[in-house]
Amino acid sequence: MLDRIGMMLPLIQAPMAGVSTPALAAAVSDAGGLGSIGVGATDAGGARAMIDELHARTARPFNVNFFVHATAKSDPVREAAWLDGLAPSFAEFGAAPPAALRTIYTSFADDRAMLAMLLETRPKVVSFHFGLPSADALAALRECGIVLLATATSLDEARAIEAAGIDAIVAQGIEAGGHRGLFDPAAPDDALGTVALTRLLVRETRVPVIAAGGIMDGAGIAAALALGAIAAQLGTAFITCPESAADDGYRTALAGPGAHHTSLTPLISGRPARALANRFTQLAAHLAGHTPPDYPIAYDAGKALHAAAKAHGEHGYGAHWAGQGAPMARAMPAAALVATLAEELAAARSSFGSVVAGVTTVQL
């Protein structure tokens, strides 16, 4: 599987729409990992431009990630109530909430132009989050030789991915930063951690598994491999690279003591996502009686509130997505980070071998 993609290291840089850039993904791919971009927040034209830039920047394979969420249903009453709930926060920065909210992203499932663009640009790897496209879309991508990945947070989702003929499953543990890949955010969530989820998927499916969530260094990658994963996917570890699109407020928050506190919240975008605890996640108490609008309609309000606050120098309403490993993030260029991760992985391998040899020879 890694050979088919052409990866030299068992390491994927997570897509992170809005944070990853073609420069970041190219640097990771050039260094031997698999770089990714997330294009769920743009349209076919925007995605094409990013893919073209990536093709220009690197000859190595890379991954392009899509959101495959259910079509958002507008509910003007709920949206108006939500904006009322946020109004005091806007008022703090002398701003009014937007008059109405828009569906700012189109699901890949509803976007034939995006599929057509993909069949032309043919990135080596395509991955899906929040669900799966139709069988005909998958067949068309497969016919182009594109390797397909999809995220699962549970065994049921993994079984759906296996049944769809996807090439590898990203096992996203509850520790992971950003949007949780739940197919149905309204269904109960068993909130499985990376260790249990990865083992379950490795044991119960026949599809290669990529472990994600809480992994920040070579020891974490080594642990993912020990669990039977073919690779580890790291997101938060790459936010602090200079090549990412994270703004200064986000970088400052990640570098501070607040990195020890993340929160899984649907308040920012309308779907559960893990972010650094900040003024936005703290609105939970204040908004307890409200139901956020559908994803990504709620995110239109979230982005507007962040913009209003940021204009006044307040960065506490940013969507500071981060996983539980955030305190271990390192600010270094992506190529240097990948080289460091590779060295750490090799070191973990040798120390792991000696520990196990020393301890188990007595017994075995």
In the bound state with a copy of itself, the residue whose beta carbon lies nearer, of 55 and 199, is 199
Inter-CA distances, 56 with 22, 32, 217, Å: 10, 17, 29
To 10 degrees, the CA torsion angle through 13, 19, 20, 24? -100
Nearer to a copy of itself, 252 or 351 (CB): 351
Query: Least distance (Å) from a copy of itself to the CB of residue 339?
Result: 8
- Between CA 342 and CA 348 the distance in angstroms is 10
**Distance (Å, whole) CA 99 – CA 118:** 35
Shorter beta-carbon distance to a copy of itself: residue 103 or 194: 194
Q: Could you tell me the smallest distance in angstroms from the CB atom of residue 336 to a copy of itself?
A: 14
Residues in contact with a copy of itself by the rule CB under 8 A: 2, 7-10, 31-32, 154-155, 173-175, 188, 190-197, 199-200, 202-203, 213-217, 219-220, 222-228, 230, 260-262, 323-325, 327-328, 342-343, 345-346, 348-349, 352-353, 355-357, 359-360, 362-364
Rounded to whole angstroms, what are the CA distances from 223 to 95, 116, 175, 194, 233?
Answer: 48, 39, 15, 10, 12
Please, what is the minimum distance in Å from the beta carbon of residue 173 to a copy of itself? 6
Token pair for 160: 């759906």
Cα(185)–Cα(252) distance, integer angstroms: 31
Shortest Cβ 59–a copy of itself spacing (Å): 16
Nearer to a copy of itself, 8 or 245 (CB): 8
Q: Which of 193, 135, 144 is nearest to 166 (CA)?
A: 135
Q: How far is the CB of 81 from a copy of itself (least distance, A)?
A: 21
Shorter beta-carbon distance to a copy of itself: residue 9 or 241: 9
Question: C-beta of 250: minimal distance to a copy of itself in Å?
Answer: 19
Write the DSSP string, 245-281.
Answer: ---HHHHHHHHSGGGG-EEEESTTTSS-EEEE--TTT
Q: How far is the CB of 192 from a copy of itself (least distance, A)?
A: 5
Looking at beta carbons only, is 52 or 343 nearer to a copy of itself? Answer: 343
User: 188 or 313, CB closer to a copy of itself?
Assistant: 188
Closest CA to 67 of 302, 296, 292, 291: 296
Amino acid at site 66? F
Please identify, using beta-carbon distances, which residue of 118 and 231 lies nearer to a copy of itself.
Answer: 231
Q: What is the DSSP letter of 348?
A: H
For strand 273-276 and strand 178-179, is the pairing parallel, antiparallel, or unpaired? antiparallel
d(CA 63, CA 150): 11
Cis ω for the linkage preceding 257 (within 30 of 0):
no
From the CB of 135, what's the least distance to a copy of itself, in Å? 27
